[in-house]
Amino acid sequence: MTTIKQVAAVIPAAGIGRRMQSECPKQYLQLGQKTVLEWTVQALCQDPRISHIYIATSNDDPYFSAQQFKVKQPIVRVQGGATRAASVAAGVQAAIADGFSWVAVHDAARPCLTAAELTAVLDAALSDPVGALLALPVADTLKRSEAGQRSSGSVCREQLWQAQTPQVFPAAELQRGWQLLGTDHPDLTDEASVMEALGLQPQLVVGRRSNLKITQPGDEAIARLIVLDKE
């Protein structure tokens, strides 16, 4: 009988959603019958290799206790930190303490992840010496703006990708990176940056534009259309 490798999902959900300017943190906005976070947890349970879910929330989060996660995987709440990296590191530490050697880090603000994307990034990561992340080749012309929101030129996009999540890596390697660099380093905006800082080159797995991160006003309306189309 072949045993499948068990992976802990870590969801950073301790942000305040400043850019969103919404009445509550964006991870608790309602998309139909579920909140963004409830959709995200459900999305991560679409592959049986995800066996536990660690959610990092802010200490004074008044919304989490009312969440209804209708999944069979155990949900573990941990205290998030002042940065996304600190929140992720708290979840990874809890996962390691529970015996996990691989983690799949996925933003709470990305509720539209499909089963196909999740399976693809897990397949790639678990058979790769470094790990893997979902990403999109840049499809638009990129402009640089140095003053007054005016274009001062274009940036070559030939070798540029937009990182998404899940990002799937060995937990101990991530911890080694944070021990070296800290969790408030401005360049460590995702887990792949930590691996790159260790001199490693994660595998890029082509994702979908529908796996958007709810960030700016109006993004929640797009995400609502995507998730309700699945219902």
Ligand X SMILES: C[C@](O)(CO)[C@H](O)COP(=O)(O)O
Binding-site ranges for ligand CTP (CB under 6 A): 12-20, 27, 56, 80-84, 87, 107-109, 213, 215
Instruction: Supply the DSSP symbol for 73.
Output: S
Q: How far is the CB of 53 from ligand CTP (least distance, A)?
A: 14
- Segment interacting with ligand X (CB under 6 A) among 42-50, 124-132, 157-165, 197-205: 157-165
**Total H helices, total E strands in the chain:** 6, 11
How do strand 142-147 and strand 34-35 relate by DSSP bridges? unpaired
Nearer to ligand X, 148 or 186 (CB): 186
Q: How far is the CB of 32 from ligand X (least distance, A)?
A: 23
Nearer to ligand X, 17 or 170 (CB): 17
Sole residue written with tokens 């490798």? 5
Confirm or reject binding of residue 107 to ligand X (CB under 6 A). yes
Instruction: Supply the DSSP symbol for 20.
Output: G
Classify the C-alpha dihedral 207-102-189-23 as positive or negative: positive
- Which residue, judged by CB position, is nearest to ligand X in the bound state? 190
- Segment interacting with ligand X (CB under 6 A) among 26-34, 47-55, 160-168, 197-205: 160-168
Q: How far is the CB of 39 from ligand X (least distance, A)?
A: 16
Q: How far is the CB of 187 from ligand X (least distance, A)?
A: 11
* Nearest-angstrom CA–CA distance, 62 and 59: 9
**Size of residue set near ligand X by CB under 6 A:** 8
Confirm or reject binding of residue 190 to ligand X (CB under 6 A). yes
Nearer to ligand X, 5 or 19 (CB): 19
161 touches 205 (CB < 8 A): no
How do strand 142-147 and strand 150-155 relate by DSSP bridges? antiparallel
88 touches 182 (CB < 8 A): no
**203: exposed, middle or buried (Cβ count in 10 Å: 0-12, 13-18, 19+):** middle
Q: How far is the CB of 24 from ligand CTP (least distance, A)?
A: 11
Name the residues that contact ligand X, by CB under 6 A: 84, 107, 163-165, 189-190, 213
